[in-house]
Amino acid sequence: MTISDLAEQRSKLLATLEGISSSAELEAFKLEHLVRKGSIADLFEQLKTVPKEIKPEAGKALNELRKSVEEKFAERESIFGGEVVTLAPLLDLTMPSRPLPVSEPGHEHPLIKTLNRMVDIFVNMGFEVAYGPEIEDDEHNFGKLNFAADHPARDMQDTFFIKNGADPMSPALLRTHTSPVQVRLMESGKLPLRAVMPGRVYRNEAISARSAACFYQLEGLVVDRGVTMADLKGILLSFAKQFYGDDSGIRLRPSYFPFTEPSVEVDVSCYICSGKGCRICKHSGWLEVLGAGMVHPNVLRNCGIDPETYSGYAFGMGIDRTAMMQYGIDDIRHFSDNDYRFLRQF
């Protein structure tokens, strides 16, 4: 065996592989050259008898030969391997799958668990569930909700705008709250309305243990003839009792939102200390849980609803902080870390 023999043998094998056009030929090639008693193994056998002086060089050439033939073989196999009929009986689709590496089949995410509990309570009180797009336009997220053109919430600091939106007059953005879904429902013209709208919202905030750039909200909207603030208060009190516990109370504080008038901030009595004062409620006895109010007549009008005939209330709450309080989670980032050691606890 000489170096040039090896070079010649190598080109011959590679050319043969190149010419192969079926899995059967590929299989035959393997049996002739690549198995334990094949031609390449034979060459390694012969290597033992070559003169000492050329042994290192011949060894190197032979190793290269084997490597390049194996690579070429793998390449051809990736093309013709699919036809390998003999493999089919090995694939038994009725075979039971391997058990999961953990004993539990899976968990609902704590955020979704909290959200679903809330949604269920409203569904039991006659609310429908509605969804809207996360990529919104300025009109739905702000304009029709009665945000003045220079309202600070439109500022780049808070909103993720998306470049090259289809309509330059109404740029695309990631919705900053679920309230645009209210607009879409009212625009649909189907009255009366009684719906909750869960979903993800986005704000350009510094990320910390307390705030994330993406979080969940649950919005509520009722529009009908003769809807009053008393209806709003009744629904929220009923929700608080079902979600936070039967002895929960609520209190309404005046607030401001462009899309509601009057607007309120709603607190629920602290369910940890029952209103006595503790670390969680910062010794006030109350937890701030949502924003709400009567739908502003301008908003009704913007959505084609006559405010002389119809009135409505709306409310919106954050899910993440509620879930954090409920489960004693100290960092909002745990929700998106996707660490199974965290998730499996819920």
Stretch that binds ligand PHE, among 122-130, 205-213, 287-295, 298-306 (CB under 6 A): 287-295
Residue the block writes with tokens 């910062």: 282
Helix, strand, coil shares of the chain, percent, nearest 5, are: 45, 20, 40
Specify the residue, 17 or 320, whose C-beta has the smaller distance to ligand PHE. 320
To ligand PHE, the closest distance from the beta carbon of 270 in angstroms equals 21
Residues 6+ apart with CB under 8 A from 231: 222, 313
Q: Does 127 bind ligand PHE (CB under 6 A)?
A: no
DSSP of 163-188:
TT-S-TTS-EEE-SSSHHHHHHHHHT
Structure tokens at 277: 């004062």
To ligand PHE, the closest distance from the beta carbon of 96 in angstroms equals 48
φ, ψ dihedrals at 10, nearest 5°: -60, -50
To ligand PHE, the closest distance from the beta carbon of 89 in angstroms equals 60
Stretch that binds ligand PHE, among 37-45, 73-81, 244-252, 291-299 (CB under 6 A): 291-299
To ligand PHE, the closest distance from the beta carbon of 296 in angstroms equals 10
Instruction: Give how far the C-alpha of residue 311 lies from the chain's centroid of Cα atoms, to the nearest Å.
Output: 36
Residue 51 exposed, middle or buried by CB count within 10 Å (0-12, 13-18, 19+): exposed
Identity (one letter) of the amino acid at 208? S
Q: Is 265 helix (H, G, I), strand (E, B) or coil?
A: strand
Selected from 257, 271, 286, 310, the binder of ligand PHE by CB under 6 A is 257
DSSP lists the bridge partners of residue 95 as none
Selected from 9, 179, 248, 302, the binder of ligand PHE by CB under 6 A is 179
Q: Does 177 bind ligand PHE (CB under 6 A)?
A: yes
Q: Counting every residue, how long is the chain?
A: 346
Identity (one letter) of the amino acid at 68? S
Q: Does 219 bind ligand PHE (CB under 6 A)?
A: yes
Of 313-342, which residues contact ligand PHE (CB under 6 A)?
Answer: 314-316
To ligand PHE, the closest distance from the beta carbon of 236 in angstroms equals 11
To ligand PHE, the closest distance from the beta carbon of 217 in angstroms equals 6
Specify the residue, 69 or 183, whose C-beta has the smaller distance to ligand PHE. 183
DSSP lists the bridge partners of residue 217 as 199, 318
Specify the residue, 202 or 257, whose C-beta has the smaller distance to ligand PHE. 257
Specify the residue, 40 or 294, whose C-beta has the smaller distance to ligand PHE. 294
Stretch that binds ligand PHE, among 51-59, 230-238, 285-293, 300-308 (CB under 6 A): 285-293
Specify the residue, 110 or 291, whose C-beta has the smaller distance to ligand PHE. 291
Specify the residue, 25 or 134, whose C-beta has the smaller distance to ligand PHE. 134
Residue 129, Cβ neighbours under 10 Å: how many?
Answer: 13
Residue the block writes with tokens 């502003």: 296
Residue 279 exposed, middle or buried by CB count within 10 Å (0-12, 13-18, 19+): exposed
Of 299-318, which residues contact ligand PHE (CB under 6 A)?
Answer: 314-316
To ligand PHE, the closest distance from the beta carbon of 290 in angstroms equals 7
In whole angstroms, give the CA distance from residue 180 to residue 187: 11
List of residues contacting ligand PHE (CB under 6 A): 177, 179, 219, 257, 260, 291-293, 314-316
